[in-house]
Structures are given as C-alpha cells and as structure tokens.
A and B are shown apart, each in its own frame.
Chain A
Amino acid sequence: MSEAVSALKGESHAGFATVTEAGLSGMVTLRADLSATATRIALAGQGLKLPGPREIVAGEKGRFTAWMSPDELLVICSYDEAPAVAAGIAHSLHTEHVLVTNVSDARARFTIAGAKADQVLMKLCPVDFAALKPGEMRRTRAAQVAAAIWRSGPEELSLVCFRSVAAYVMGLLEVSARPGGELS
C-alpha cells in the first residue's frame, strides 16, 4: 500500500492564505436510511456519530461523519483504515438495503489556512461565509467543479473535490490566494 500517492502529493502555496493539498485521506460513502437505528449502530461501531442535515460531526480517532444528502453520508478517516471502516459498516448493515463504498481514491482534499482563509473561497464558492458555522458541511461548487467545504479548524477550511480536477482546483486556490487579492 505504500505506493499510494495523492493527486498532487501535498502541493502547497503561501499567499495571503496558505493553500495545501492535504495528501491521502480516507473517505467512505454510505447510502442508507439515515433514520434507521441500524444505521446509527453501524456508525457507532466505527466510533462515528450520525450528523443532522448539513452537519459534519467528529467521532473517535479523528474520524468524522458528514451529511451529504437525505440518504447519503460521507465518513472521513485516515486513508489506510478506510477499507476496514467500509467493511465494518457494511458488515454491520449486511441485512439492510445500503451501499457502502470506499471513495478515498476518487477524491482530493485541500486545506485553506490563515486569518483570511475565507476570502480565498469567497472568490470561488457561492457561499455566505459569514453564515458558515463550524460543524456545517456545505456542498457547493468551486468555480466550475463540484466541491464540499467545511471549517476544519480555527482559521482553516477544508475542501474536497474529485481527484481528476485536483490540479484545476489547486490552480483556482493558488490564484485566489495571491497577495494583493485580499478582499478586506
């Protein structure tokens, strides 16, 4: 497994905010009845909590669960443990109608860090960042591609997009974070 490399191998640019490809990241898509007790139990088995609509909630071991749609969740964990997390959830729900699949390789993840991190994404995403609270998962777009964003730390945002457009998204972030382009 040591040969796995992320789309941009951790490329980073320091502008008025620092934009970085976050490297390998584990992600599991779960499509299921989110109101079912079985779903909640299956998540708990992996140290995960059930998020409400448009939420991202922290679980154990640095894992997160994000609400993606009324019947879809995204589990975020480390790259190496994603297959086991997916298998664990699938096993727990094997009698239910669900779809559990590892999508770690289908995605690229970025962090945008700094006191003016919001201003980078204000140029790319039609999102009211003043109203984006910690713990909110926002599915949106970055310029011309689909993206999901959330506040992943103090003065830090995370963005997830498809792997194939990682270089495009890095191009967007780099130009939008260039010094002189501050919005205030």
Chain B
Amino acid sequence: MSHRLSSGGRLIDRSKPLAFKFNRRKARGFAGDTLASALLGSGRTLLGRSFKYHRPRGLVASGAEEPNVLVNLGRGNRHEPDQRATTTELFEGAWATSQNHWPSLGFDIGAVNDFASKLMPAGFYYKTFMHSLEAWHSLFEPIIRRAAGLGKAPTKPDPDRYEQAYAYCDVLVAGGGVAGLAAALKAAKEGKRVILAEQTAHWGGRAPVDGGLIDGQTPEIWIQNTLQALEGMENVRLMTRTMVAGLHDHGYAILYERVADHTPGDGRPRHRLWRTRAGITQVATGAIERPLAFAGNDVPGVMLASAVRDYIVNWAVAPGKRLVIVTNNDDAYRTALCALGAGLEVAAVIDARPAPTGPLVEALRERGVKVLEGRAIAKVKGSKAVKAVEIASHAGEGGAVEVIDCDCVAMSGGWSPVVHLYSHAGGKVKWDAAAVMFRPDAAKPPTGDKGQPIAAAVGAANGHLTLDAICAEAGMVGQVEAEAPLMPVWVMPAKASEALKFKAFLDYQNDVKVSDVQLAAREGYASVEHTKRYTTLGMATDQGKLSNINGLAILSEALGQEIPATGTTTFRPPYTPISFGAITGEARGEIFQPLRKTPMHDWHQAKGAHWEPVGLWRRPYTYPRKGEKHRESVNREIVNTRTNVGLLDASTLGKIVVKGPDAGRFLDMMYTNLMSTLPVGKCRYGLMCSDNGFLIDDGVVVRLSEDTWLCHTTSGGADRIHGHLEDWLQCEWWDWKVYTANLTEQYAQVAVVGPKARKLLEKLGGMDVSREALPFMTYREGTLGGFPARVFRISFSGELSYEIAVPANMGLAFWEALHKAGEEFGVMPYGTEALHVMRAEKGFIMIGDETDGTVIPQDLGLGWAISKKKADYLGKRAQERKHMTDPDRWTLVGLETLDGSVLPDGVYAIDEGVNENGQRKVQGRVTSTYYSPMLKKGIAMGLVKHGPARMGEVLEFPADGGKVIQARIVDPVFYDKAGEKADV
C-alpha cells in the first residue's frame, strides 16, 4: 500500500498542507506535491482506466512520460480533460476526477471489454471497416464509441487569459538538469544570449535523486551554485515550468510556459507560448526509463524503478511497503537502496542478467537483499493492485519457480535518450548496440539556412546516461558508482508463452501488447510507421514515450532484422500536449481577429445597424427601426432613397492613387478599357481582369490631374488590388515611372443618393454642385459645409448621386452634418442590402455575385467596357482563346418570375436531357435575386446559355421541396431603363 513517509521529501513543504478532492472525496497533500505524489501519498494506487480495455491503471512514471493517470481537472468553466497527474502541481482546492470509467473507478462495466480483448486484436479498427456498413452502424460503432474517449470535453468558455511572446537568443538550452545548467553557464560565460528552459518547477533534473558528486560537490550544492551564477548574468533568461515543445526550421522553437497552472485565478496569464528564434538549441532533455514487457506489467503498483525513487526522495511517498525490483541493468539497484534507506522492505531484485556484479549490486547484497540472477517476472498477480509476482527463468517460457508477495514492482528495462527535439527539425539518430539505445547522430544534426547545425544534444539526451559521463562531456569531473552493461530485454521472459504476451503491455494508453505487434508482423506489416498505425502503438497522447523503443525492438525480432533496419517512427512536436489557449494567445473575444471600423462605425452601432461582414470590415446591412423586420427596413431605405435622399457609408471602398509619367500607360494595361484618354476631372467605370482573363475587380477611375489617377476598388478588394498593381509594377514593368499609394483609409466617403441629394448639398453649401458645374461622371474638389471635400458625380443606384470623400478624422462630423441638414428632405441612412437591391434594379453587376472567378466581362454584356483600340491589357489574350469566345458561354440576362416571387439565390435552370453522369442538364443559373420594392416583385440576374438572344423565353428553376419556379428572360435593367434619373 502506498503511503506518505514520516520524514524526507526534498520538494514538499510539510508546513503547508493542501486540501483537494479526487473523485469528490477529500484528500491532502503538501505544497510541492504533484497531483500524482499527493494521490499516491494518500494511499491511492488505482487512478484510472485504460482507453480500450478499461483495465485498472495506476501511476507508472513520475514525469512527462506518464501514460496512465490523466484526469479531468477543475470544475465548471475551468474544467479541463486529460491533465497528467505527474506534471500537475498540487494547489489548494484542486478538483480532479478520474477518466474512462463507468459507473465508477472501482467497478467498471466497460472492463468487460477486457474479456473480449481477444476479439479486439491489432488492426481491430481497420478490420471492422471490412464488414458491411450495416454491421458498422449497428454493432461496431456503438461499441467503439462507448469504449473510446478519454476525458470529458469542456462545455463552457475558458475564463483564463493566454498570451504569446517573441524571444531571441544565441543559445536555447532545453532542460535544466546538470547537463543543461552546465551548457547554459558555458554559453553565458562566452557572452551569448541564453535562454534556459526547464519543464518542471525545479532545477537539477535527476541528479539530486540519483546522487554522486559534481566537481567534488553534492548535486544540490552544485545546482545551487550554478543557478546563482546564472541568475547574476544579464544575458541569461531562466525559465521554469517551461517546456521546449518543438524545434522547427531555422531555429524556431516553441516554448510552452505554464505561468499560473499552480496558482489558478490569480490574474496572471495561465499559459504563455514563447515563439523563439535560437541560434542553436542545446538539447538537454535527459532520458526516459523503459518499462519491461512482462504479463501484468500494467497492474497498479508496477512502476518504473526511477519513478519509485523519485516519489520516495522528492515527495517522501512510498509507492508500496514491500517492493520487488525487476531489471536488466545496474541503475535499478539505486531504487532498491533508496527504498531500504526509507525503511521499506525490498523482497528481492529480479535481474534478467545471468551474473550481475558491480558496486551497486554488491551494495545491495551487503544489505542482505536477495538478488535472483537470470530470472524474470512471469506474471503479476492481482488486478486492481499488485499482490505478488511469479518468478521464472528469464531464458524460459514462464514456468513459475517461485511466488513472491509484494505490493509494488519497480521495473527497469534501460534508458532511452529524449531525442525528440533533436529530431523535430530533421536531426538523425543512430542505434548504439552496446548501450541499447538510439542516440543523436552528431554528424547529422538539424541544419539552418547555411547548413549550420541548429541543435546539439548534451548529457543524457546525448546518450551519456551516468553522471560521470555527463560531467566529462561538460568539462567537469563527476563521481558516481560504476555500472555494468545492461542486457537487452524486450519480452520477459525471453520465450514467454502466447498467453503471457497477451497481457504484456507496451503502450499503456492505447492498450497495445506484445502479442499485437507480433500479430501485425505476421500479417505482413514490415514498416514501423505502418505497424504504428495498424496497432495504434505510440499514437496516444503520450506519443509512445514509454512504448516506442520496446515496440520497434519487438517488431524487429518478429521480422528477424536488426533494430536499426526497422528504425524509429517520426518524432513530431509538441513534446507533450500544449493548450489550445496558448496556441490561440490573445486572439479571442473582441480581438479574435482585426475588425476594421470606418469613422462612422460607432454611429451605425448606436443606431442599431445590423452588420454585414465585408472582408474584415463590418458594414451596416440595414438600419432596422423598432419592430421592423430586416426586409421591411431594407424596403423603406430603398423607397426613401429613390424618392427623397439616402446616405451610405462608402468609406470602405478602395481608393488607390496612381501617379507618374507612365501612369496612364500602366492603367491602360491594368484595366480593360482606356484610362489614359480620360480627361482631367472626369470619371470612368473600369474593369480589371486577371492575366487569365477573368474579371477580378471593378470601380470608377477618376483623373485627378495630368499625371494622377484615383482608382476606386471594391471594398473587399482594396488591399488585393493594391498588391496586384504593385506586383506588376515591381516584377514586370519595374522601369515604368509609376508610384501608387493606398489611400483607402485616408478618406471617409459618403454616398448622398436620391432626387433630393443636390438640395441637401446645396444647403450645406461651399461649392457649386449644379448639373452644369458638376455634371454626371465628373469630379471637383472644394468645401461642403466647411469640410474639405472631393465630390464625385457617380451613381451605383441609378439616382442622382454624389460620392463625397472627406478626411477620415472628420468623417463622423461630416456624416452627422449631412443628417442634420437633410432632416427637412427626409434623409435616412441606407445599408448594403438596399445598395445591392438598387444596383440590381439597374442591372449593375457586383463582383462576387455575377463573378465567381470563372466569369469574363464578355459574359456580363460588358463588351462596351473593353477597348478594341488597345494592343494589350491584362487578360486580353486569354479572352481570345477558344473557350472564352465560345458562343455557348452563359451570358448575363435579367430574370422575372411569372408569379412575381423571388427566385432562390444560386438555383439552376434545367435543360432537356441528362449529361454523361446521368445528371439533369442545366442551361443557366441565378447570380443575384432580390425583391424590388419599387417594382413590387422579384427581380433577378443570371447567366444563361445564349441568354440575350432568348429574350422572352421562360426557364424552369427547380427549388426546394420539388417546386419548379418559372422565370422569363428579360433585359437586366429593370428600373429607369433610359438612365434619366442619374444624369440630372
């Protein structure tokens, strides 16, 4: 039974007890505990259920590699699933519940899966897909859904704050153990800018637990001295609770800082993601101990040997009272000595090696502990807790020769360097057969832009597993007990029977056993990457930290090849899961994405505008009054604009100034029509096409002066078109003398539209806005009501219309002045929907409605806007290709339903017959469709095969519910066909 020891615990503060709840029951721990050590210290060893078979599980490890004990942490809006107990620092009031069980942790109906586990072998998921769809729906999917799933997904918005920060350094050291501290100090002394990141809250790594001497000092003293030296240096940033999650190209590293996980609700950001550029990353990430694969190695109480001594030394927690150590190496003997030192009973050390010797082994023998040589654990007895182990010859098949009672098994299968960071950006690892591990290949590091290494491994991560080797690499002197070589053990006992292998777990989280990997090999899986996916080995949230090497070793044996021939799977970031909050950073709520606001934005908001997103802008769709439906307010706005006067905030329209001796020539290339001939002070509607001929933007171009033009673009297109202009100027016609500037935001622009527009402006006064002084399609600069104004006589509604640009900082004042002056004329603001309807009533096209990237101006009856005189313009040659000149291309027409209803948007007109796919043929589609309050009926535009030649023909449009709507082909100009209203 696990328990808290009466003394010791280098990381806990017994003067600060903490209360918390696990599965709604009270528990206690101390400041400095992890959730894992507190649970273990309070006697709990059954802490979760496995993912697939719902087997009882307890702690295996003490750190980031823990596969089993993931908990739901927190309540209400702070609930978060899949939190690793070993890396969760305990805090007062912590609330945790175990996962993956029903109805309770102790009694789980799902564990019946365990009995059915013979039916769920390797590749189970794939094999089920081969059954009928019916079997999948009725049988397999419900079973899998019930069996699968880790923690509960949160249902409420996260109340915490997250952020990111950018950092730069010459040397990033990942890991604050002895090797990392030494590497940081060395670089810092050379004057380099250093960031040292340690994923836990403590410095020194394993050394304080494992002991030895560094330059004659105990690890504690040496760590303290080194830290002191580093803290005093300006060029060093020391970061605890910070994991280097990933290393990417060009030395870009992602650091995950858990700022306030241990102090929830204290107002600090919870997590911070450091986006770091490092000249070189020193990978000092240590090593992870490997489990041994024997039957029942997943029973709660079976733990890594290093974890057992971590719990004893760091947190004064004994994982059991009577321990058995099982090992293939000397290092695990440290656990036995540590347990004895803590007053625990060590029943035996089971060593797979035939004749272990060395100082650690002898030290234990001297203490009178039984060392069973050449032995193995055949199986663990017990289901929810270890009761005993059956001992067998390691060389045999598992026939038990002895049973030893115990409540904890400390296992060690050797160590694997944490090569993840080294591998993320392309560094290679090589197999060291003598040391039985993959270690970084210093000759093949990940490289930067000049081929220089961007990472180097040091310490245990570099394969130096003992303190003396770690120190020697760092230019120090380390003293520690010598260790004899380990013996590779991948399955225990070596010739374990099928029945034993069926309970020998490799991947705890995904319940993958030795038998599964061997079955995969028998079924023809030779690639480690394929086997991984087929068996799900290493695919859980722990990403195979404990299972990877054991799994590929067993696969290699099954395939009869050496381990390096099999190779490893790919290591991918992040090292352990990081929070979505940290990835999101500040981008949530009001600042989830930039919201572009015109100077009049707040006015619209205050007037209750319903918004329409246009690019990153919000434009008023309509201004509904109290009790008004949107449709009603849109109709009111249209009728008022066409009978009195309406105001539109047109500030979002793109405004690009193009100036220079070659500007006219340039615009003649960019637009389909002639802009160089436009007289000063005049406006001309223009079309822009891509080099493939397709229509990409439109707008009114104004000639401001002899060498200066102002190009209006669509609201969503301003930045894109500015980039398009600069692209052609900088890449193709770099020697043309043209400058452009995007002045979209310099001006607030208001469309003053309607028969009373002129009266309104005349009331404001300041310049002559008469038909004579300012005819249709001209431009003048002056003042209006005291505001410096550029006034354009252009119309997108078919009404008398002025678009007036004033400096943006005066936009709101100008807008309000217009409203005040317009009161007597019945002025009202109108939104984008009214704008859309009015332009459709006039048959004006809209980029994005009538165009979709496949439409050319000729399709839209805009041939008049394409210059026949010009030798070239962007899109000209494309528009001459066969497909573009095909008389069968669908062409713009108006559509009028026979019953006056509004056609659904985007519907197709059917044709006779079916195509090669058996689908009904079509001959056209609706591109814009609205209710016209002026005409009091539905109007639409559409693209129809041979459209303009078929005036009066009736087309059929199938709509929802089997309904067919009939519409007649008509002229697209529905309102004021003669165009008399605009030109007054």
Contact = CB atoms under 8 A, between A and B. Distances in A.
Interface of A: 1, 3-7, 24, 29, 31, 71, 79, 97-99, 101-107, 119, 122-128, 130-131, 143-145, 162-168, 171-172, 175-176, 178-181, 183-184
Nearest to A82: B807
B737 interface: yes
Given A105-B746, A105-B808, A164-B598, 20 more contacts: A3-B787, A24-B809, A99-B660, A101-B657, A101-B743, A103-B746, A104-B809, A105-B745, A122-B167, A123-B163, A123-B164, A123-B585, A123-B586, A130-B193, A143-B585, A144-B587, A163-B599, A167-B595, A171-B591, A175-B161
Contacts of B657: 99, 101
A4 B809 CA distance: 5
A99 B741 contact: yes
Contact of B597 (A6, A102, A167, A172): A167
B268 interface: yes
A106 B590 CA distance: 22
A85 B874 CA distance: 37
B809 A180 contact: no
A124 B809 CA distance: 26
Nearest to A175: B586
B747 interface: yes
A5 B597 CA distance: 14
A86 to B, nearest CB: 11
B166 interface: yes
B401 interface: no
Contact of A101 (B193, B741, B787, B808): B741
A130 to B, nearest CB: 7
Interface in B920-975: none
Given A123-B163, A143-B587, A164 B809 contact: no
A176 B739 contact: no
Nearest to B260: A180
A103 B599 CA distance: 15
B431 interface: no
B596 interface: yes
Contact of B746 (A102, A165, A172, A175): A102
B660 A175 contact: no
A160 to B, nearest CB: 12
Interface centre among B166, B275, B813 (most CB of A within 10 A): B166
Contact of A98 (B585, B595, B739, B743): B739
B796 interface: no
Contacts of B812: 5
Interface in B146-175: 161, 163-168
Interface in B571-614: 585-587, 590-591, 593-599
A166 B268 CA distance: 25
B703 to A, nearest CB: 15
Given A99-B660, A164-B745, A126 B166 contact: yes
A171 to B, nearest CB: 4
Contacts of A125: 166
Interface residues of B, number: 50
A178 B162 CA distance: 12
A164 B268 contact: no
A131 B169 CA distance: 11
Contacts of B594: 143-145, 165, 168
Given A3-B813, A97-B661, A181-B268, A122 B166 contact: yes
Nearest to B662: A97
B275 A4 contact: no
5 contacts: A4-B807, A5-B813, A122-B165, A168-B595, A178-B267
A42 to B, nearest CB: 15
A124 B275 CA distance: 11
A165 to B, nearest CB: 5
Given A101-B741, A184-B237, A178 B595 contact: no
Contacts of A29: 741
Nearest to A127: B166
A180 B743 contact: no
B2 to A, nearest CB: 37
B815 to A, nearest CB: 11
Given A3-B810, A99-B739, A184-B237, A171 B590 contact: yes
A121 to B, nearest CB: 9
Contacts of B660: 97, 99
B168 A131 contact: yes
A71 B268 CA distance: 44
B863 to A, nearest CB: 34
A165 B596 contact: yes
A125 B168 CA distance: 12
Nearest to B589: A171
Nearest to A142: B594
Interface centre among A4, A164, A176 (most CB of B within 10 A): A164
Contacts of B787: 3
A5 B748 CA distance: 12
B416 interface: no
B784 to A, nearest CB: 13
A106 B808 contact: yes
B747 A123 contact: no
A29 B740 CA distance: 11
Contact of B745 (A122, A163, A172, A184): A163
Interface string B104-134: 0000000000000000000000000000000
Contacts of B641: none
Contacts of B786: 3
Contacts of B597: 7, 164-167
A131 B166 CA distance: 13
Contacts of A165: 594-597, 616
Interface string B190-234: 000100000000000000000000000000000000000000000
Given A106-B743, A172-B586, A123 B165 contact: yes
A49 B168 CA distance: 32
Interface string B259-285: 000000011110000010100000000
Interface string B713-749: 0000000000000000000000001011101111100
Contact of B591 (A99, A127, A168): A168
Interface centre among B266, B659, B812 (most CB of A within 10 A): B659
Contacts of A168: 591, 594-595
A24 B237 CA distance: 39
B264 to A, nearest CB: 13
Given A105-B745, A143-B587, A144-B587, A164 B596 contact: yes
Nearest to A182: B268
B617 interface: yes
A133 to B, nearest CB: 15
A163 B808 contact: yes
Given A6-B809, A165-B596, A180-B267, A143 B166 contact: no
A24 B808 CA distance: 11
Contacts of A183: 165
A126 to B, nearest CB: 5
A130 B813 CA distance: 43
Contacts of A105: 745-747, 807-810
Given A105-B745, A130-B168, A164-B597, A172 B591 contact: yes
A65 to B, nearest CB: 17
A123 B269 CA distance: 12
A119 B167 CA distance: 10
A131 B193 CA distance: 12
B808 A176 contact: no
Contact of A103 (B163, B269, B743): B743
Contacts of A178: 161, 267
B617 A164 contact: yes
Question: Which 9 A-B residue pairs are closest in the complex by CB-CB distance?
Answer: A99-B739, A164-B596, A105-B808, A106-B745, A3-B813, A4-B809, A180-B268, A128-B168, A171-B591
Nearest to B237: A184
A163 B747 CA distance: 10
Contacts of A101: 657, 741, 743, 746
Interface string B657-693: 1011100000000000000000000000000000000
